[in-house]
Amino acid sequence: MSKLTYGERKAMPTSEFAVPAKREGGKGGYPIPNKSHARNALSRVSAYGTSDEKAKVRAAVHRKFPSIGEKKLGDEF
């Protein structure tokens, strides 16, 4: 995963964030511009997010990257 610089994050459209901005003029939380960042967002929100944020991030990641989070045959254990 490449690290987002301040400028890159600021230039990203709000649609690239899984959670909307909490304050006026903000971009949002949990950037998901690529699969690597999407996986990281899922990991971070599961550790630090509220139940509402968890649901929003999971939905946004699955909408943008449907293959992430899919259970494969044999993954039950």
Best CA proximity match to 61, nearest among 18, 20, 7: 18
Give me the pLDDT at residue 21, please: 83
Alpha carbon distance 12, 28 (integer Å): 10
- pLDDT band at residue 53 using 50, 70 and 90 as cut-offs: very high
pLDDT above 70 for 17: yes
Integer Cα distance of 24 and 37 in angstroms: 24
Return the domain boundaries, the chain: 30-68
Q: How many helices (H) and strands (E) does the chain have?
A: 3, 2
Show the tokens assigned to 74.
């044999």
* pLDDT grade for 49, boundaries at 50, 70 and 90: very high
